[in-house]
A = this chain, B = another copy of it.
């Protein structure tokens, strides 16, 4: 009943003093406004203006309408601005899913410059998914998946953005620390520290221990890399993680880093997106920044 045009009309008359002037402002004829006013007044059952000669004087109802106009119109105009930004991919929330515990450190290095380049885009990071990272991506819970395990599927695209080697971290003075590389059997007498995820998602099991049919003496878990490595430094066990991460910490803690197997375990981080999100500029930009970071860090 009260439409946007009515609010604009009331406001324009208020600002320009007459129907005729308001008509010019709104790019219609005075006649159109006159008709519109009459219809609105009929609908509301009350005059909006008192006609006094060539003057219009606001009634109480008119005054009330002005108030509404001043509250509603800016809201709508602002909304249109924002929606335009969203449509141009300049604004929104980039929801990132993480399926790779240690990648968090790496992610932070991309997120921070990204937030600077895209001040109108928020970043949200999620780590728990009921139906896995790919499910979350397909269900639009997230817009970007950071994972070491690409799962090619129609509608999704994965791109490797970071190569790294999965290594074992042990205390600096450990007897094994002088070796060139480790063999699976070496872990038989060690306590293994990992992030708290199923063993079939831990590369050290799937690519190293399981093939050799070896189990560590003990398996403990820790949520955080920091604590995990503190424990390693204190001789409470060994941990597997990306080399770049291990080497970062080994500057602060007494740690040694060893290759897993003669050839080492090569890994990649992939970024997964929905293919039909192609027009979201900030998403492309994020992937691009991740790609470039890989290059610059080599």
A4 interface hit (Cβ, 8 Å): yes
Q: How many A residues have CB within 8 A of the partner chain?
A: 29
A44 interface hit (Cβ, 8 Å): yes
- Add 13 more A-B contacts to A60-B86, A60-B92, A64-B86 (CB < 8 A): A2-B76, A2-B79, A2-B80, A2-B83, A3-B3, A3-B4, A60-B93, A61-B86, A61-B87, A64-B83, A65-B83, A68-B76, A72-B75
A16 interface hit (Cβ, 8 Å): no
Q: 0/1 per residue, A65-104, Cβ < 8 Å to B?
A: 1001001100110011011101110001100000000000
Q: A153 → chain B, closest Cβ, in Å?
A: 15
B57–A83 contact, CB under 8 A? Answer: no
A211 interface hit (Cβ, 8 Å): no
Give CA–CA (A65, B4) in the complex, Å. 16
B64–A79 contact, CB under 8 A? Answer: yes
B-side contacts of A76, CB under 8 Å: 2, 68, 72
Partner of A4, one of B2, B46, B79, B87: B2
A107 interface hit (Cβ, 8 Å): no
Give CA–CA (A50, B138) in the complex, Å. 12
B45–A84 contact, CB under 8 A? Answer: yes
List the number of copies, as a whole number. 2
Q: A30 → chain B, closest Cβ, in Å?
A: 23
B-side contacts of A32, CB under 8 Å: none
B-side contacts of A93, CB under 8 Å: 60
Q: A71 → chain B, closest Cβ, in Å?
A: 6
Instruction: Enumerate chain A interface residues (CB-CB to B < 8 A).
Output: 1-4, 44-46, 50, 57, 60-61, 64-65, 68, 71-72, 75-76, 79-80, 82-84, 86-88, 92-93, 140
B-side contacts of A84, CB under 8 Å: 44-45
B45–A1 contact, CB under 8 A? Answer: no
Give CA–CA (A60, B79) in the complex, Å. 13
B-side contacts of A45, CB under 8 Å: 83-84, 87-88
Give CA–CA (A4, B1) in the complex, Å. 9
A68–B64 contact, CB under 8 A? Answer: no
Pick the most buried of A4, A50, A82, A140: most chain B CB atoms within 10 A of its CB.
A4
Give CA–CA (A29, B231) in the complex, Å. 67
Partner of A86, one of B46, B71, B88, B92: B46
Give CA–CA (A9, B79) in the complex, Å. 16
Give CA–CA (A211, B229) in the complex, Å. 109
**Do A71 and B75 contact each other (CB < 8 Å), given the known contacts A3-B4, A4-B4, A80-B1?**
yes
B-side contacts of A83, CB under 8 Å: 2, 44-46, 61, 64-65
Q: A7 → chain B, closest Cβ, in Å?
A: 9
| Shortest Cβ-Cβ A-B pairs, 5 listed | A46-B87, A45-B87, A68-B79, A61-B86, A44-B83
